[in-house]
Amino acid sequence: MNIRVRYAPSPTGNQHIGGVRTALINYLFAKSMGGTFILRLEDTDRTRYSDGYVKNLYDTFHWLGFYWDEGPDIGGPVAPYVQSERLPLYRQYAEQLIAMDKAYYCFCDEERLGQLRKAQDEQKSGEQGYDRHCRNLSRDEVTRNLGEGKPYVIRLKIPLEGTTTFADLLLGDVEWKNADISPDPVLLKSDGFPTYHLANVVDDHLMNITHVMRAQEWIPSAPLHRIMYDAFGWEQPLLCHLPMVLGQDGHKLSKRHGATAVNEFRKAGYLPEALINYIAQLGCSFEDGRDLFTIDEMIELFKVEKLNKAPAVFDYQKLEWFNGQYIRQKSDAELAQLVKPFLVDAGIREGEDSAADALDLQAMPLVKERLKVLSDAAAMMAYLYRKPAMPAAAEFIPKKRDQQTALQMLRECLAVAMEDLDFSNLETMEEAFKRHAEQIGAKLGDLLMPLRVAITGARVSPPLFESMRILGQQETIERIKDSIAYLS
Ligand code: GLU
Ligand code: ZN
């Protein structure tokens, strides 16, 4: 069988973790089976549509770096891949269902439907949704209404009794009471646009989709779609509803838990490799004793049987760990390139500046081990570009010592720095400070703590001697003097 799967987002919001997870699982499944991965834009909800969301979709996937084999931007054998460009098709199929008596015209106006909703709310009787008023209109009545040009929608006839069963790869056979399916959902709206249900079923069929892998929130649509497939006499693709993605508190992952949109992670300085690697493991295991996989390795290892039924919990810290791992795999040159836009954004350096490029490259070994996200680099590296703001005096004071000692230690450091200290040789630098600490009978830690604060502005910082080497003798001396003046 030639496997064909699709990612079918509605451009009604920015791409988020859940969407990317769906796309990724579809992609891995297709590629692992030698199949085809398709992008289809389900843009039939015109009230929530925005061009910006479509742009965000393309930007996101270009950044993530995995692609579809067929889609709106690259075409393919069953184009167009944008639902708003396929409108005549949907009307044709909706009318076909009417001809087969599987669907009907409904002329109820907003006023009537509003009253119905109100009455249902007041009664709290359990009866919800459309009351099937137009399901039994006489043929004459329908013809007359159409002749008068009355606006209408087309609704699907859900059988009043019995059950509908659909097959799910993960959940097995799922049986629904027809009475629990939304009463006669709209297929074609009065503006001529299809609803999700009609367009989704028609397109999955016409695009020869073999497997539908999507979030579990779509389960209630599945029996309804099944009824449509049966009405048309089409085979329903095999369904596979993916486990939910929850926040740590067990509720569906949402903005309340933190970032969910991919561009937020991108802005914070996550690497696409890390996101892909982590997201693919939400509800799916690759089980070979490792955590880190390239996308090609995941294709190699992917198996439908390794999908979980149980929900996955999104762990921000775990993702951060993944990101750190991928940062450390970068060469200094690669990492400097990646970090640069974040430094520019923070106003630490200009974009076009070869001296700054060289400085960044030198600084990478200092920060590579410490970065969790690329944006950390701004705060971590600012002191290499300009003198840090003076911290509170207490920051300079070594443990169990006083300000006098801190001042004294800085004067000692100044002496060492002004002697002919070789700023290009880390080992002899360290030696010089050790020797000096011994000479004056001070602990090395007491000597270096105030120095670290003077040079970097903080007690915890990238390595001190490397920093001093990058800054050079003159700048080092200036910073020590400034701190001495400040503490005096
Ligand atoms: N357009 C739907 C969505 O936004 C597609 C659901 C499905 O895959 O059937 O997720
Ligand atoms: Zn009606």
- Residue identifier of the C-alpha nearest atom 10 of ligand 1: 9
pLDDT of residue 125: 66
- CATH number for position 277: 3.40.50.620
Strands 103-106 and 238-242: unpaired
Expressed in percent and rounded to 5, the helix, strand and coil fractions of the chain are: 50, 10, 35
- Asked if 99 and 170 sit in the same domain, the reply is yes
**What was the pLDDT predicted at 287?**
77
The reply to whether 18 and 78 lie within a common domain is yes
Based on the fold, state whether residues 106 and 144 are members of the same structural domain: yes
End-to-end alpha carbon distance in the chain:
81
Instruction: Say if residue 157 is in the same domain as residue 188.
Output: yes
Which pLDDT does position 289 carry in this prediction?
Answer: 82
Do residues 108 and 214 both lie within one domain? yes
Residue 423 covered by a domain: yes
Residues 415 and 372 in one domain: no
Are residues 145 and 99 part of one domain? yes
For residue 288, the model assigns a pLDDT of 76
Query: Which residues surround ligand 1 with Cβ inside 6 Å?
Result: 8-10, 42, 196, 200, 214, 218
Instruction: Find the 107 Cα to ligand 2 centroid distance in Å.
Output: 5
CATH code where residue 417 lies: 1.10.10.350
Cα distances from 417 to residues 44, 312, 412, 479, 483, in angstroms, run: 70, 55, 9, 11, 14
In one-letter notation, the amino acid at residue 374 is L
Residue 109 CA to ligand 2 centre (angstroms): 8
| Residue 303: inside a domain | yes
Residues 77 and 93 in one domain: no
- Residue segments in the chain with a per-residue pLDDT below the cut of 50: none
Looking at the structure, tell me whether residues 136 and 54 fall in a common domain. no
| 98: in domain | yes
Within-domain flag for 288? yes
- Give, for 246, the enclosing helix (H) or strand (E): strand 245-246
Enter the tokens of residue 283.
């509800």
Q: Which two tokens stand for residue 289?
A: 């004793």
Residue 319 lies in a domain: no
CATH number at residue 337: 1.10.8
Helix (H) or strand (E) run with residue 242 in it: strand 238-242
User: How many domains would you assign to the chain?
Assistant: 4
> Rounded distance, CA 263 to CA 277, Å?
16
Q: Which of 242, 272, 295 is the last residue of a domain?
A: 242
Rounded to an integer, what distance in angstroms lies between the CA atom of residue 109 and that of residue 111? 5
In 3D space, the residue among 365, 270, 366 whose CA is nearest the CA of residue 323 turns out to be: 270
Write out the two tokens for 272: 């696409």
Q: What is the pLDDT of residues 64-123, one digit of tens each?
A: 999 999 999 999 999 999 999 999 999 999 999 999 999 999 999 999 999 999 999 888
Residue 21: alpha-carbon gap to chain centroid = 8
Which residue range is the domain that position 130 belongs to? 86-242
Name the strand (E) or helix (H) holding 245.
strand 245-246
User: Residue 155: nearest ligand to its CA?
Assistant: 2
Number of residues in the chain: 488
Instruction: Tell me which residue of 409, 402, 405, 399 sits closest to 455, measured CA to CA.
Output: 409
The bound ligand whose nearest atom lies closest to the alpha carbon of 44 is 1
> Do the domain assignments include residue 322?
no
Q: Which residues of 57-90 are buried (b: 16+ CB within 10 A; e: fewer)?
A: beebbeebebebebbbbeebeeeebbbeebbebb
Residue 318 lies in a domain: no
Residue nearest to atom 3 of ligand 1 (CA): 9
Element (H, E) at 165: strand 163-168
* CATH number for 127: 3.90.800.10
pLDDT computed for residue 124 by the predictor = 74
At 420, the amino acid letter reads: D
- Do residues 266 and 412 both lie within one domain? no
Q: Which residue has the tokens 């439908």?
A: 304
In one-letter notation, the amino acid at residue 41 is L
Confirm if 27 and 37 have CB atoms less than 8 A apart.
Answer: yes
pLDDT digits (tens, 9 = 90+) for 440-475: 999 999 999 999 999 999 999 999 999 999 999 999
The C-alpha atoms of residue 452 and residue 435 are separated, in whole angstroms, by 18
Report field, pTM of the whole predicted structure over 0.85: yes
What are the distances in angstroms from CA 25 to CA 37, 252, 281, 438?
A: 10, 19, 9, 62
- Tell how far the Cα of 14 is from the centroid of ligand 1, in angstroms: 14
Asked whether residue 235 falls in the same domain as residue 339, the answer is no
Position 417 in a domain: yes
* Domain termination residue (choose one: 343, 360, 385): 385
Active site members: 255
Question: Are residues 195 and 104 both part of a single domain?
Answer: yes
| Structure token digits, residue 20 | 């990317």
Mutation choice for ligand 1 from 195, 196, 221, CB with most ligand atoms inside 8 A: 196
Q: Decide which of 213, 242, 271 is a domain's last residue.
A: 242
The tokens of 292 are what?
């880190």
User: What pLDDT score was predicted for residue 127?
Assistant: 76
